Structure 1
Amino acid sequence: MLIVHDSRRWQRFTISAVAFIVLMLMVKFNAAVGTTIDAVFQSLFTSQRLENAGWFHALMSLLTFLGKPVLDIVWVLIIAIVMWLRRYKIPAVWAVCTILGGDVLGTLIKHFVKRVRPAQHLAADDGYSFPSGHVLGFFLVAGILFLIVIPIIQKASVRTICQLLLIFAVFFLAVSRVYLYAHWPADTIGAMLLAYAWLQVAEWLYVMWAPKLQQVGFLSDSAI
């Protein structure tokens, strides 16, 4: 199986979920520590905006465009189609359910916290701020690639390069959201914690249900 039983999965879930809940409550109730850390890190990423370095601003804008929640779903659908055609049907279904479930969870939390965006945000960045939908969705895309796509690449060196590229992409996407004043730093950190916790649940569901789904007629020839 691409995703196997891991006795430490629930430990990782507990740590990331507790960290997320603590951060969410700090944001929800405007804890002084949280707002101070946000202000410090926002200043770090926006005080030197490299306005004269057009390439950097263009890079940040490109990353934030490629990480749009709608495009995150598109990327996963493309992954799912490719996996389905390669007879990884159950992993393909799992990938789509994982991104959709994460998006729903993120939306519910946004409406619970109701955090406003930084005052300088662009008009295109509407809605609530915590957690970042861009970072949440793209983290899940990266997680899906890590779990069901990269493992089937034969060359170890290529797998390593792909993993490093995904890590850097998630990091710089998070930076771009703060740089463009679309989010506070805590919004991006919270999105990564939430995505990681949700991935632990999604992995557990895969391990539990993938063998059972092989008994379904049109999924019986699927690799898992």
Structure 2
Amino acid sequence: MGFEFQMLDGLQTIHTSFLDTFMISITKLGDAGIVWIILTVILLLIPKTRKAGGYMAVALIADLIICNVIIKPIVARPRPYSINKTVQLLVTPLKDYSFPSGHTAASFASVSALYFAGKKKVAAGALILSIFIAFSRLYLYVHYPTDVLGGLIIGLLCGWIADVIIKKIAERKAKVKA
């Protein structure tokens, strides 16, 4: 964990009032996956994008189960600010565990779901926001770098899971129609 604290502590040296405000705003977009849930609902409501909304819904549900129900309670990793109490937090301390980063996982689950659904341009825009959200978790000292990396990997996996599930459903529907 030494290298992780070195990275996090190094990020503390780049703080400015602008970056603080920006990172707090960016991270709030990921709180409870709200930006991704809103995007999912919008996509589900528009017939032309309903498939992509379905992909995102499945990916986000998979992410919720894998991250919050299974992995976080098993790993039970304390957050960096619980170990290094000298850092002044810019956000309210969280009550759940650190690994994996749920903000990052939900973000990358959404990116990969959009990609697998064939919405590559939307996925590219979502990727930019996802990178900012992931970085904000480090900047704000609420996650270790490996939490963010783990969240990224789990998120990508959840997008792939959505692809597999949606394709299986489509195959079954095709068999029923035939």
User: Is the TM value for this pair above 0.5?
Assistant: yes
The offset of 1:92, in angstroms, is 3.6
Structure 1 counterpart of 2:65, from 101, 104, 117: 104
**Deviation per residue, 1:163-209 (Å, 9 max, x gap):** 54333222221110111111111111110011112322322223332
TM-score scaled by structure 1? 0.65
Counterpart CA distance in 1 for 2:51 and 2:133 is 29
Counterpart CA distance in 2 for 1:91 and 1:215 is 22
Structure-1 residue corresponding to 2:77:
115
Structure-1 residue corresponding to 2:158:
198
Residues 40 and 213 from structure 1, CA distance in 2 versus in 1: closer, same or farther, beyond 3 angstroms? farther
Structure-2 residue corresponding to 1:95:
56
Structure-1 residue corresponding to 2:113:
144
Residues 76, 99 of structure 1: 8 Å contact kept: no
Equivalent residues, number:
168
Query: Percent sequence identity over matched residues?
Result: 21
Counterpart CA distance in 1 for 2:50 and 2:39 is 16
Structure-2 residue corresponding to 1:63:
26
Counterpart CA distance in 2 for 1:179 and 1:173 is 10
TM-score scaled by structure 2? 0.80
Letter in 1 for 2:19: F
Residues 112, 160 of structure 2: 8 Å contact kept: no
Unaligned runs of 5+ residues in structure 2 are 82-86
Q: Say what the alpha-carbon RMSD is for the aligned residues.
A: 2.4
Structure-1 residue corresponding to 2:12:
46
Instruction: Decide which structure has the larger Cα Rg and report it.
Output: 1
In the TM superposition, 1:1-224 aligns within 5 A as: 35-50=1-16, 54-71=17-34, 72-82=36-46, 85-86=47-48, 89=50, 91-107=52-68, 108-119=70-81, 120=87, 121=89, 122-148=91-117, 150-151=119-120, 159=121, 162-214=122-174
3-state SS of 1:68 partner: helix
3-state SS of 1:69 partner: helix
